[in-house]
Amino acid sequence: MKKVELVRQRRLPLLVLVAFTAFGAGGLCNASMGTAWAAGYRKLDVFAKVLAYVENSYVDDIDGNQLVYGAIKGMLSVLDPYTVFLPPEELAEMRSDTAGEFGGLGVELSAGDGGGLVVVAPLDDTPAARAGIVAKDRILAIDGEATREMSLHDAVMRLRGAPGSKVKLTIMREGFTAPRELALQRDRVRVQSVEARLYPGGYGYVKVKSFQERTDAALAKALNGLRTENDGAELQGLVLDLRNNPGGLLEQGVRVADRFLSSGVIVSTEGRGGKLLDVERAHAPGTEADYPLIVLVNGGSASASEIVAGALQDHGRGVIMGTQTFGKGSVQTVIDLEDGSGLKMTIARYYTPKHRSIHGKGVAPDVVVAEEEAAAKDAPRPIAPLERDAPPPNVASSSEDRLPPVAPPTARPDGQLRAALDTLQGWETFQAQRALPKVETAVLDD
């Protein structure tokens, strides 16, 4: 399978601006290009003059690389918030994310409408999660500095830092009468992207927390482990939990979807003007057995999580349960530049097999189970995995502030999971009572 990620990589010289300047008059100003387009590149003459004035006459000595990097960042700031320039140290930091370990708070962010930052999802068992930060929270300030004009990447870098160091966040949430301040202590965020446990009756549960470099391999190992624990028998059903999964590597999302699909399109990507850039298809080898499958999603499920959920939904392979997903449907590529820096640029939108765009819309569940309603309904019915698989309680650190919970604390029964397990146990009745949604458009196939 071709490697398709939020991190596609190719090489491009950093001095491409110089090339445009040198050859702009002959190459860019031909009849095939609009006058406005050519005039835009002639502005590079202005850029070169300003750069020369600053280097020769500015009151303080300044690093030329800093000037060029700043100019590139300024240029990209007029595009979408996911398109950013990455100096060498920031590029290395970004790649540490996909490797699964970094120092920080463990929160995925998006740019909000009108500026500022919106939480996509906190990663489990991280300072952000322990402090009660949830999807859709707005971060108004970091260490007292407003985020309205702050780039997404700059904000992420401000949240990163050595474990044990502190950072202050100003948080606003729907229902708050005023912003709340939190003083959080950074920690080493080690993301084990997959966890699994077996429930009585041979029902499996797998939570995919994010899509990292080895997520598909970890999922395969987890599923095989569940079968071994089930005395070697096939699972009677599976809950695939993508709640609060902010995404990650698109390639790994495709592979996870491929594990449950034997054929057909998983995702297609379209670039400028609707040009088809890539189509990822499922393959029969390695496909899981056709056991009942329920996919749990919520407002913190984004990007690659939505690709998986959308593909399984369109092919009728699983029932999507929970609440509406986040709606991040753009694809970024990382271009390696010659000095070790990089350009992360939005190049496409992705579409589900039925050509549904997720961007700004999300994936609607087949069965809506609100977190608060499920918790209230199922509170007297605690769910328990086999005892040896029970995870430790998630307890907030006394050294951190904490927001008031939007629902009962994490020790409460998980009503959405309870609903999913109940559905698996009554699968035949469920199928008889509710057919999967029928959509007029046909699923793309090979």
- Active site (catalytic) residues: 303, 314, 328
What distance in Å separates the CA atoms of residue 207 and residue 214, rounded to the nearest whole number? 14
Task: Single out the residue of 165, 206, 211, 194 nearest to residue 385, CA to CA.
Answer: 206
Look up residue 429 and give its amino acid.
T
Q: Decide if 265 contacts 445 (C-beta within 8 A).
A: yes
Q: Decide if 386 contacts 197 (C-beta within 8 A).
A: yes
Q: Decide if 299 contacts 275 (C-beta within 8 A).
A: no
The tokens describing 286, both together, are 């390695």
DSSP 283: -
What distance in Å separates the CA atoms of residue 245 and residue 207, rounded to the nearest whole number? 9
Q: What is the per-residue DSSP string for 364-384?
A: --SEE--HHHHHHHHTTS---
The tokens describing 389, both together, are 């698989």
Q: What is the per-residue DSSP string for 111-128?
A: EPTTSSEEEEEEPTTSHH
Q: Where are the alpha helices (DSSP H) in 202-289?
A: 215-229, 250-260
Distances (CA, A) of 330 to 269, 303, 314, 327, 418: 9, 8, 19, 9, 33
What distance in Å separates the CA atoms of residue 313 and residue 352, rounded to the nearest whole number? 9
Cβ neighbourhood burial of 178 (10 Å; 0-12, 13-18, 19+): exposed
* 3-state DSSP helix/strand/coil % of the chain, to nearest 5: 30, 25, 45
The tokens describing 136, both together, are 């859709």
Q: Is 276 helix (H, G, I), strand (E, B) or coil?
A: strand
Q: Decide if 146 contacts 171 (C-beta within 8 A).
A: no
- Number of residues in the chain: 446
Q: Is 223 helix (H, G, I), strand (E, B) or coil?
A: helix
* C-alpha R_g of the chain: 24
Q: Decide if 107 contacts 97 (C-beta within 8 A).
A: no
